[in-house]
Each structure stands twice: as C-alpha cells, then as structure tokens.
Amino acid sequence: MSNTVSCSFDLNLSGKNSGYLKIGDSTNNSGWATFHVPIISISNGNGPTVLVLGGNHGDEYEGQFAAANLANSLSPDMVQGRVIIIPCLSQTASKFGMRLWPDGTNFNRIFPGDENGGVHKKLAYYLSYDLFPIADAVVELHSGGRGHYFVPCSHMVWSSDLKQRQRMIEDMTSFNTSHHLIFPEQPGTDPTTLLPGLVERMGKGLVTTELGGAGVSTFETVQIATDGLRNALLHFKVIKGQALSRVEQGLTPPIFIDMRGSHSYHHATHGGLYENVKGCGDRVEKGDLIGRIHDMDHPDTPAVQILAQQFGMIGVMRGFPRVNIGDVVAVLGPDYASPDDFPA
C-alpha cells in the first residue's frame, strides 16, 4: 500500500464519485504541495472492477477523450460492479503536449514505481500496489502520439502459454477495431516496467490500444476509442448488456498483423525529413518503396529510399516527419484472418 498517494474519496463507496489522487509533491514554488490527478469511480452492486486508463503518454489524446466521455456518460444504473477511470495519468506531459514527463521520464517504463520517488514514480507505485490488485481487468488507451500513426487497433504481446494467449486474444478482440497488432516482447526492456506488462503478469484481464496518433485526434479515431471501450466493458461484464463482435455488428472481420518478425521494424538510416510513401493498411511486397528521407540542407540530392524488408501490411507509419538515424519510420508484418493461422 502506498503511503505517499491517497484518493480524496473512498473507492468502496457505491454510486458515482469523483475527486483526485493526491500525490505528495514539493516544488521550487511550493513546499508541502499535493499533485492532483483526477479519478472517477462508478459503482453499483456486486461485480468485477475494471480500471480505465488514458494518457499514460501525454500526447496521446484519443484515449483521454474516450475515458473522459465515459466518465461523463456512465451512470451507476448502467454498471454491475465498479468502473474506475483515470482519464489522464501523465497530466504534466499532456498539458505540455509531450509524450514524456518534463524531466524526460517515460511513464510506461517505471513500473512498479517507487513511493519515495518523483510524482510519476509515486503514482506508478500506487497503481501497482493499490489499484491493480483490486482490479479484475485494465483497459489502457494509447495511440501513436506525435511520432507515429497506428492503424487504429488493440494489440497484445504474443504469449507462449496457450491458455493465457487465448484469454489475451479474447480481451484484445473485444475492443472491436478493424485491425489487431501482435508484437514480440520489446527487446532490451524488462516487461514488468511497462504498465500493461505488469498487469498481464498479475493475471488480470487486459486491453491495450493504439488508436491513431500523429498528434491529432479525429472524430473517427475518438469514435473508435469510444465504441471499443464500451464493448470491452461489456466483454468484462462490468456494464449491463451484451458484447458483440465486429461480425455480429455487421462490420468487416478483423485483420491480425503479425509484427513478431525480425524484419517488422523499419528504422531511419539517415537523419532528415521522412516522407511516408505507403500508409497504414497498405500491403507491400519485399523491396517496395515505403518511404523517403530527404536531406533538406541538400534538397537537390536524391532522397534516401526506405524499402520494405519483408512482405506484409503496414500497421504503423511515421507521424512527425523529422527523424534521426535509428528512429522507427514504419512497422509491418504479414496479415491473417485469425491468430490461429500465425506461424509458431
């Protein structure tokens, strides 16, 4: 249990309650301060607890809109159990339009947190030791931020445990996006330092998303986030009603893109200005031109070509065009009608 973060109301109260997580803080301008993070709980009777989280990365606004809209629209009579909503975790980053906190901290790399660390680490600790343990499932809403644009999707990390994998697929597909992306574990990263990685290892239900990005939230992407969030809450049986698949809703069947291959990630080979030549959802063959890097100091020289390293469908393209060598400019992989068709 955290000793440095508290909720301004009792999360066990029934009905709709809102307030703040109050995090001990001390700044140059104000000692003994508390950093406030808005939190809403909607509770009615017995049932599961589902945690809805937006704004892990500050410049990913689609999920923040969907979580805020849910906080506005959900009433206790619609709930069977408890929905706890934190529309924006990385408040300071969001207010500055940044992915990271002002000190450069990536909130999605500091779990399980530190109750004696900075505000972000205290918040991560509170999530890890106070909120995740009382949750049956977590819905975490990301998008591409300024740097990338994802085909709006929910996604997961492939598990070698068949039973766990099947449950993760069911949770992922409940978000009802047209595409689902399957990733390997992130190389060089302890998975439990990631919010969803920790939640998954705690055995909780989990939905994670990437709902567009490139620094803009459109009506369409926010609608995808809103609709998906509602169906995921139905899937976890925390709101009243019946979850429906895409097909049951008369939509096209989902597409599953396998990003596990070593040639999925495409990196900038030079610094410059990256031009997307292909877009999300496009299928490419190995060797196809997918982008160009322009040297804007020497625009008369030929642009550097970025070629597809394998065949497949583009799931992620570049957002903000300025790139340094080593930046990811595209991620693609073969697409399937079902994860059951994936190679082992």
| Cβ–Cβ < 8 Å for 211, 55 | no
142 touches Zn ion by CB under 5 A: yes
60 or 282: whose CB is closer to Zn ion?
A: 60
| Cβ–Cβ < 8 Å for 183, 156 | yes
User: Taking contact as CB under 5 A, which single stretch among the options 57-65, 68-76, 277-285, 317-325 is the one that binds Zn ion?
Assistant: 57-65
Q: Which residue has the tokens 């808005």?
A: 38
CB 98 to Zn ion: min, Å: 12
CA–CA distance, 170 with 186 (Å, rounded to integer): 22
CB 313 to Zn ion: min, Å: 21
The single residue among 57, 120, 122, 235 that binds Zn ion, judged by CB under 5 A, is 57
318 touches Zn ion by CB under 5 A: no
| Cβ–Cβ < 8 Å for 191, 157 | yes
- Other beta carbons less than 10 A from residue 335's beta carbon: 20
CB 208 to Zn ion: min, Å: 9
155 touches Zn ion by CB under 5 A: no
User: Taking contact as CB under 5 A, which single stretch among the options 29-37, 58-66, 87-95, 167-175 is the one that binds Zn ion?
Assistant: 58-66
CB 142 to Zn ion: min, Å: 3
Task: Name the residue among 101, 113, 117 with its Cα closest to residue 56.
Answer: 101
User: Taking contact as CB under 5 A, which single stretch among the options 59-67, 157-165, 253-261, 306-314 is the one that binds Zn ion?
Assistant: 59-67
181 or 239: whose CB is closer to Zn ion?
A: 181
7 or 52: whose CB is closer to Zn ion?
A: 52
CB 259 to Zn ion: min, Å: 16
- Residues in contact with Zn ion, counted by CB under 5 A, come to a total of 3
CB 106 to Zn ion: min, Å: 9
CB 59 to Zn ion: min, Å: 9
User: Taking contact as CB under 5 A, which single stretch among the options 34-42, 118-126, 139-147, 327-335 is the one that binds Zn ion?
Assistant: 139-147
CB 90 to Zn ion: min, Å: 9
74 or 141: whose CB is closer to Zn ion?
A: 141
User: Taking contact as CB under 5 A, which single stretch among the options 138-146, 152-160, 169-177, 274-282 is the one that binds Zn ion?
Assistant: 138-146
53 or 137: whose CB is closer to Zn ion?
A: 53
167: CB partners within 8 A, 6+ apart: 205
| Burial zone of 101 (CB within 10 Å; 0-12 exposed, 13-18 middle, 19+ buried) | buried
60 or 258: whose CB is closer to Zn ion?
A: 60
In the complex, the residues that contact Zn ion under the rule CB under 5 A are: 57, 60, 142
